[in-house]
Amino acid sequence: MTFNTLDTIMAFDVQKIRADFPILSRIVNGYPLVYFDNAATSQKPKIVIDSIVDYYSNYNANIHRGVHSLSQEATDAYEIARQKIQHHFNAEKSHEIIFTSGTTHGINMVASGFSKLLKVGDEIIVSAMEHHSNIVPWQMLCEKTGAVLKVIPMSEEGTLVISEYEELLSENTKLVFVNHVSNALGTINPIKAIIEKAHKKGAAVLIDGAQATSHLMIDFQELDVDFYVTSAHKMCGPTGVGILYGKEVWLNKLPPYQGGGEMIKTVTFEKTTYADLPHKFEAGTPNISGGIAFGVAIDYLNSVGLINIQEYENMLLKYATKKLLEIEGLKIYGTSSEKTTVISFNIKGIHPYDIGTIVDKLGVAVRTGHHCTQPIMDFYKISGTVRASFAFYNTKIEIDIFIEAVKKAKMMLS
């Protein structure tokens, strides 16, 4: 199905959407809040907030363990949320969706599991534009196993050099780890091609989707991805919950990440046997309200429409990019033609922290620093950037306010 961009934007009632988000009516430092830190965490619609209150007010109970009515209600709601996530991402089976505390947790679960499967001389590949959460666990894995870490280089435009990736792949490659979208640059990586090339060498692939799932339609089966991780709080859901998707065959190969209640089948002092998927990887009492609210957030995003969101956000990205480049001395890092709504920039001679501090006084929330991507900053020989990141509830008027705030900061700091 194709969509006309103009028709989509005209049908997209951003003011109606904004009314769903209580925090967007806040006043900060005497100004209406302009929230442009969506890559760090998205805001939450009232329906998601209400679902958390509803759980604790009406059917708070532990799940999977009780025969009483409240426990059964909570279990049903939690497992329905798992099924919503399965269908949203088109996983083949619901037990391939493992609830986690977030993206970092999911990555570490896979890294821990592969510590039992790798040996000296095996190779794993990451990209140069990864978040620290998708670098450090693999370094730790290499230290444990003697495997070798290799890095896909990036270009000045902020895109991966795929020809170099092809050279890195070998019969010794066991794992490839790449983010779907760069949190620092907004670049959308060609993950389908990356997955296909890795599979030809027999390697498994994990995709960090934390920055992608709020912007793009993602189909796990169409991608043929082995593992995919993301966080609810980037998708209008609560913090402290996310998912690890894994193909059933891989999840059955990996040992449990933690021991405890829920993940067992039988326990004696002589031997413990483990539960079937997904419970094998879900030890202990989970973030029940968070998982339920994640399902509600998925419903909300689908009610708005991911295609509608993508079209509208692309308009915001183009508009903001054009306006920012009109400011003398401003440089944008990450200029790929395939981007989500992240703009990282600096103004010559001005520290990004100083810009962020001044625009905050004017009610505009942006992020400054290295964004947990220090290797990217080292590549560009900078200490950090100002990062503005937009969501579907932002507006062109807010971008105009932001541009004027940046201009004022430049004037004050020059």
Q: How far apart are CA 163 and CA 154, in angstroms?
A: 11
CA nearest neighbour of 55 among 224, 292, 360: 292
| Spatial contact of 258 and 105, defined as CB atoms under 8 Å apart | no
Tokens of 171: 């019969």
Q: Is 236 a catalytic residue?
A: no
Angle formed at CA 320 by CA 314 and CA 324, multiple of 5 degrees: 145
CA nearest neighbour of 341 among 388, 410, 299, 407: 388
Position 366: which residue type? V
Beta strands 242-246 and 364-365, pairing class: unpaired
CA nearest neighbour of 208 among 261, 162, 245: 245
Choosing from 372, 383, 407, 413, the catalytic residue is 372
Cα distances (angstroms) measured from residue 409 to each of 32, 38, 332, 347, 365: 18, 21, 17, 10, 14
Angle formed at CA 237 by CA 83 and CA 58, multiple of 5 degrees: 75
Dihedrals phi, psi of 216, to nearest 5 degrees: -125, 150
Task: Find all residues with CB under 8 Å of 172, minimum gap 6, and list them.
Answer: 121, 122, 123, 148
Radius of gyration of the chain from its Cα atoms, rounded to whole angstroms: 22
Q: How far apart are CA 97 and CA 117, in angstroms?
A: 22
Q: Which residues are catalytic?
A: 372
